[in-house]
């Protein structure tokens, strides 16, 4: 009897591989919904994840990305820690507790652009910031942040006074009503937030000379379960493919270049504080993963 041609074996193998992939449940990434119709803070981050999953489809098969019900950051962490299935991926800064209890991908999703913070202030108060040169100068101001945000503890550790609010949208109103002096905003966020609200809140203003910088690697996190590891392994493989072939940089440029340029990050005065909540796993040595306004072209 003649041997079956090689192409027949390959066809059978391909069929069996496809059948095995179909037998697996569709990999489902349940992520936190935006807080409001004006909340576009995470469009870039979910596009990074979606692109990573697209790149891994030939190997891993189909996937779904599904919005969860609206959750605070604290609840997101709780749902992942307890592996309830109501959330299977979140995007937040690293903390020692997260590193112990969850599965991270140690790639700063926004290249730490979010660690370069500018100030939303009241329009008539720009002159108050003209003489700010040091951290001691900044301690004369009060900073507004959301209740439970990781940044609260970082600023407190640096001796910066913080006022917290329970509502993201409400924090803009609190600034205008003089509940605090500065609504601290990441460079990735502030322009969209300002443009969406400047007509309704004409007293808002983006301070034009300063950056408060601290390392704030923001990762994708997954439950510490077999399925969570599987979801993380696939996403990380796709992200590393994107870094290698330039897709990651292209998406970063498409979303972030105009912000970097419009905010003039390269020419602002930078005041730096530490982040005491970082561990040795932070990939500082891989310069491809970190934004620097002085070297960005």
How far apart CA 76 and CA 30 sit, in angstroms, is 11
Residue 52's closest CA among 220, 188, 225?
A: 220
Write down the pLDDT at residue 150: 86
Instruction: Determine, yes or no, domain membership for 2.
Output: no
- CATH of residue 200's domain is 3.40.190.10
Instruction: Determine, yes or no, domain membership for 295.
Output: no
Residue 154's closest CA among 282, 280, 277, 281?
A: 277
Greatest Cα pair distance, the chain, in angstroms, is 91
Write down the pLDDT at residue 72: 85
- What global pTM score does this model have? 0.83
Instruction: Let me know whether 108 and 220 are in one domain.
Output: yes
Residues of the chain with pLDDT under 70: 1-24, 36-38
Model confidence over 173-219: pLDDT tens digits? Answer: 999 999 999 999 999 999 999 999 999 999 999 999 999 999 999 99
Residue 111's closest CA among 281, 266, 260, 252?
A: 252
Write down the pLDDT at residue 39: 74
Write down the pLDDT at residue 186: 94
Domains in the chain, number? 2
For tokens 């979303």, name the residue.
Answer: 255
CB atoms within 10 A of CB 272: 12
How far apart CA 111 and CA 292 sit, in angstroms, is 9
Instruction: Determine, yes or no, domain membership for 5.
Output: no
Write down the pLDDT at residue 5: 52
CB atoms within 10 A of CB 28: 15
Q: CB of 102 within 8 A of CB of 121? A: no
Instruction: Let me know whether 63 and 34 are in one domain.
Output: yes
Helix and strand counts by DSSP (H, E) for the chain: 11, 12
3-state secondary structure 172-204: HHHHHCCCCCEEEEECCCHHHHHHHHCCCCCCE
Map residue 270 onto helix, strand or coil: strand
Domain of 166 in residue numbering reads as: 114-213
């Amino acid at each position: 009897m003649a041997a079956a041609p090689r192409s027949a074996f390959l066809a059978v193998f391909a069929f069996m591989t496809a059948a095995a992939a179909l037998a697996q449940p569709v990999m489902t990434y349940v992520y936190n919904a935006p807080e409001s119709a004006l909340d576009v803070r995470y469009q870039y981050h979910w596009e990074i994840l979606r692109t990573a999953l697209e790149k891994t489809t030939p190997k891993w098969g189909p996937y779904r990305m599904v919005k969860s019900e609206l959750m605070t950051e604290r609840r997101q962490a709780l749902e992942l820690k307890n592996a309830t299935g109501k959330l299977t991926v979140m995007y937040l800064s690293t903390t020692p507790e997260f590193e112990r209890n969850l599965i991270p991908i140690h790639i700063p999703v926004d290249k730490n652009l979010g660690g370069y913070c500018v100030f939303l202030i009241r329009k008539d108060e720009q002159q108050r910031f003209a003489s700010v040169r040091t951290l001691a100068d900044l301690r004369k101001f009060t900073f507004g942040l959301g209740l439970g945000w990781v940044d609260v503890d970082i600023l407190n550790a640096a001796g910066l006074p913080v006022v917290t609010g329970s509502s993201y949208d409400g924090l803009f109103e609190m600034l205008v009503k003089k509940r605090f002096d500065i609504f601290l905003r990441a460079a990735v966020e502030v322009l969209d937030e300002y443009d969406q609200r400047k007509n309704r809140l004409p007293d808002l203003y983006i301070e034009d000379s300063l950056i408060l910088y601290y390392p704030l690697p923001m990762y994708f996190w997954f439950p510490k379960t077999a399925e969570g590891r599987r979801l993380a392994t696939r996403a990380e493989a796709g992200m590393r493919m994107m870094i290698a072939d330039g897709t990651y940089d292209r998406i970063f440029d498409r979303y972030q270049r105009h912000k970097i340029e419009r905010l003039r990050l390269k020419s602002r005065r930078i005041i730096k504080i530490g982040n005491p909540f970082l561990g040795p796993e932070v990939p500082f040595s891989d310069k491809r993963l970190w934004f620097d306004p002085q070297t960005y072209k």
